[in-house]
Amino acid sequence: MTAVLEAHGYGKRYRGRPWALRGLDLEVPEGSITALVGPNGSGKSTLIRGWIGFEPPTEGRLSIAGIDPQRHRKTAVMRSGYVPQQPALYRELTVAEHIELGVTFRTGFDADLARHYVERLGIPLAAQANQLSGGEQAQVGLALALGTRARILLLDEPLASLDPLARREFLHVLVTAVRGEGHTALLSSHVITDIEQACDRLVVLGRGRTLLDLSVADALAHHRVVEAASWEPGQPGTIGTFPTTTDERLTLVRVGALAAATPIGRPATLEEVVIGHLAAGRRRGQLEADEPVPGFAS
């Protein structure tokens, strides 16, 4: 397995603010579609922007396809396609003109491919960008990123502004393109159900660090949920407890190969895996906050 996106001891701190990320170690394997999940402020966007060379690290290092994106930003940009968190199209231009803009900006930009994806998503090429919905703008952003023919796609919460059907279409285009071309994609998102369908790997960030880094299949296979009331806190494998919408409290438990032989509770959904790890991350953060930690302002 070759990692195309790597973070080693990566930390980012904006002036006058606590660390957005610290001591992060992460590897995204080539050819995977990896979901990057975490609460707001967990550093997902910071990490993605770091890989494309937009944010210099405060400590540690990042690499994209084996190169440092800060030192070799041109190469980093050449090797990646990026869809930003908020649609950032030129309101004065049509969709077709955005594709032409891509051609003028970048040698080798595949205008036909970008047009193909835009048409496939049912967006008129002649439409003015400011007349498109947020979802359509995100889809044009994806088409432009795919038009770069970059082997690594970095998608920063592109699904946030999309309705369910548009999300499905977006993911379909993404998965087809990535699987068809053998590309790698890193998709940050809050929408767990979509991730389950599209991604083969899951990374959960919380409180500035990695809480979980597994394949989706392993994440589902190695986690179960039990009713919190019937579970002794602190037992081996306990990850985190969280409420459900029916006032019930569930505990996420990691099960090893041996324990799996005597199943407990029920299999966890991917959403429960994510929520359980986020709850554990929050709990750990609260415990750390009780003790002064060097480098953090009290």
**Footprint of another protein on this chain (CB under 8 A)?**
52, 54-55, 73-75, 77-78, 80-82, 84, 86, 88-93, 97, 100-106, 109, 141, 144-145, 148
Q: How far apart are the C-alpha atoms of 141 and 124, rounded to whole Å?
A: 14
Least separation in angstroms between residue 101's CB and another protein is 6
CA distance 52 to 75: 9
Whether the CB-CB separation of 198 and 33 falls below 8 Å is answered with yes
Judged by beta carbon, residue 79 or residue 254, the one nearer another protein is 79
Q: Which is nearer to another protein, 19 or 109 (CB)?
A: 109
Residue closer to another protein, measured from CB, 104 or 246: 104
Distance CA 3, CA 205 (A): 18
What are the residues facing 214 on neighbouring strands? 202
Question: Shortest approach of another protein to residue 98 CB, angstroms?
Answer: 8
C-beta of 10 vs 82, nearer to another protein: 82
CB of 78 to another protein, least distance (A): 5
The number of CA neighbours under 13 Å toward the Cβ of 182 is: 1
**Cβ at position 155, least distance to another protein in Å:** 11
Nearer to another protein, 140 or 212 (CB): 140
- Listing DSSP states for 119-163 in one string gives HHTT--TTSBGGGS-HHHHHHHHHHHHHHTT-SEEEEESTTTT--
Minimum Å distance from CB 143 to another protein? 12
Distance CA 242, CA 249 (A): 6
